[in-house]
Amino acid sequence: MSEAEPPVRAPPAWDEATLRAPHTQADKAERVQAMFDAIAPTYERVNTVASLGQDAGWRRAAVRAAGVRASDIVLDVCCGTGDMVRAFAAHHPPPRQIIGLDFAAQMLARGTYAGTPTPIHLLRADALRLPLADGSVDIVSCAFGVRNFQDLRAGLCEMQRVLRPGGRVVLLEFALPERALFRWGYRFYTQVIVPRLGVWISRDRSGAYRYLPRSIQTFERREQLAAVLRDVGFERVTTESLNLGGVVIYRGQR
C-alpha cells in the first residue's frame, strides 16, 4: 500500500505579489471573500483588541451621522457579523427595518441578533449587484467595506440607486492621518502590531491582517473618496475625522 499523499494546503488569499497592489487584482473580490470567510470566527475579537475597544464607538458615531428616523429602512452593506446592524438597532429611535448584506457566508452565519426588536433581514449578495429595487431604502451604510470593493465607483452607484430621494449614505472607513507624526504612528501600528495581533488571535493563514494595512495605504485618500461620492451623484458630502484622522465618517445625500 502506498503512503497517503499529504493534504495540499490552499494558497493564501493574499501573498507578497498581490499585496503590492491589492486594489488592482482582477480577482480581488474572490480573495476578499475567502479572507473574510477564513477569519469570521475571530473577526469581532480581533477588531476589539486591535482598535483598543474603540470600534464600537466609531460605529455609534456613524449611526448618529445617519440621522436615523423611526420610519427609516436601513441597508448595511458588507454587514459581516452584524456590528453595524446592532448599532442601528440600538439607536433611539431605532429604524423600522434593517437589511444586512454581505457576500461572505461565514461572516453572515456568525451574526447574533438575539433580543433585537427591530426586524432584521440578512441577504447574501455582492455589493456591486444589490438585490433591491430602485429607491427602496432610506439609509445605506458601510463600515470598513468600500475599501474591499472590486469596483469602488460601481459599488457607490449601487448605493445611490437603492436610496430614495433624500436618502443618506454613511461610510465608515480607515484613512491615513494627515499629520506626519500621527501618520508615522498609525503606519507602525497597522503594519507591525496589528498583523501580529491578528495572526496570534485568529491563527489566520489567508493574509487578512497583512492585507489590512496595504489596503489602507493604497486606497483613495480622504478627499479623493469624498470626490468620488460627489462624482457618482451624492450631494452635501461631508467628512468627519475620528481616531486622530485614522478613521473617517463620510456622509452624503441622494
| Residue 10: pLDDT band with limits 50, 70, 90 | low
| Residue 178: pLDDT band with limits 50, 70, 90 | confident
Which pTM does this prediction carry?
A: 0.92
Residues 79-125 pLDDT 10s: 999 999 999 999 999 999 999 999 999 999 999 998 888 999 999 99
DSSP H or E stretch at residue 244: none
| Residue 13: pLDDT band with limits 50, 70, 90 | confident
How is residue 46 written as a grid cell? 480581533
Q: CB burial class (10 A; 0-12, 13-18, 19+) of residue 4?
A: exposed
Which position has the grid cell 497517503?
4
**Domains in the chain: ranges and CATH:** 16-253 (3.40.50.150)
Report the alpha-carbon distance of residue 233 to residue 254 in Å, rounded. 7
Residues 6+ apart with CB under 8 A from 252: 168, 169, 229, 230, 234, 235, 236, 237, 238
Per-residue pLDDT for 239 more than 60?
yes
